Amino acid sequence: MHAIVEVKGVGKTYDGGVEALKDVALAFPPGQLSTLLGPSGCGKTTLLKIIAGLIVPNAGEVWVKGRRVHGPGPERAFVFQDFALLPWANVLRNVAFGLELQGVPLEQRHEIARRHIAEVGLRGFESSYPNQLSGGMKQRVGLARALTVDADIILMDEPFSSVDEQTRRKFQEELLDLLRHKQKTVIFVTHSIEEAAYLSDQIVLLSPRPGTVSRIIRPGIARSKGPDEIRRDRQYLDTVDEIWQILKQYIV
């Protein structure tokens, strides 16, 4: 399958000589959810931001839809771990903000934003401000904003890490349900082995810093099964165990 995102020999060294990534080569298939997983400090978020065009690598290059990345682009949307909402704007304005930057007329962008607000379960909160929302609701706003710009590729940096386990599981199920209907390509950073195994078509395991590709795992779990069935599925359990056997070698 032709890749929608290609990472070719990417390396990144920060000021002070800290080498975050070294010679990373990856291909991300269209319409699939790929997870970046590895020990803390292995460069997961750095790699995600390089793909987003938010960070410039010292070596190598990233190609998206056949074009080399030189910065952010409309075909990529980023969902930040810390929500990155505008505190002075209500939910409707926050969700529509990407369209506002694109120059979409007010009435049209509000219509599109309202549709995606409803999709993520926030109908009725259009006039609320970020300081009136729970962490889970803020994350829904961030996801709705990414969906609103209709990017082909959604980049998600530990989007569910700030919510409790029950909410996290609900978000995971809702994300998979959305993707079934949206046919988006998602690149997802997480620290959770179980989350990676549950969500992913492809799991990229990164080694400790400097991050390199240690292993690529494709769980092959039947998505036609329900959430509880998947978590009891032998393929899911074997994937969790396989990942753990690799990652535990990196624990000092």
For the segment 192-198, the average pLDDT, to the nearest whole number, is 92
Question: What local confidence, expressed as pLDDT, does residue 1 receive?
Answer: 55
Q: Among the three residues 150, 165, 199, which one is the final residue of a domain in this structure?
A: 150
Which of 170, 175, 19, 161 is CA-nearest to residue 82? 161
> Which phi and psi angles does 73 have, rounded to 5°?
-150, 160
Query: CATH number of the domain that 180 lies in?
Result: 3.40.50.300
120 has pLDDT over 80: yes
Q: Among the three residues 98, 120, 150, which one is the final residue of a domain in this structure?
A: 150
Domain annotation covers residue 2: no
pLDDT digits (tens, 9 = 90+) for 61-98: 999 999 999 999 888 988 887 778 889 999 999 999 98
224 and 164: one domain? yes
Domain annotation covers residue 6: no
141 and 158: one domain? no
Would you state the structure tokens that stand for residue 38, as one six-digit string?
A: 């590895």
Domain annotation covers residue 3: no
3-class secondary structure, 107: helix
pLDDT digits (tens, 9 = 90+) for 43-53: 999 999 999 99
H/E run at residue 153: strand 153-157
For the segment 120-124, the average pLDDT, to the nearest whole number, is 88
**Based on the structure, what is the number of domains in the chain?**
2
Cα 157 to Cα 174: distance, rounded to the nearest angstrom: 17
Residue bearing tokens 């046919």 = 183
pLDDT digits (tens, 9 = 90+) for 232-245: 888 999 999 999 99
124 has pLDDT over 80: yes
Cβ atoms of residues 214 and 42 within 8 Å? no
Alpha helices in the chain (DSSP H): 44-52, 91-101, 106-119, 135-148, 165-182, 193-199, 227-232, 234-247
Q: Among the three residues 120, 150, 180, which one is the final residue of a domain in this structure?
A: 150
158 and 249: one domain? yes
| Alpha carbon 59 to chain centroid, angstroms | 23
Q: 61 lies in which domain range?
A: 13-75+154-252
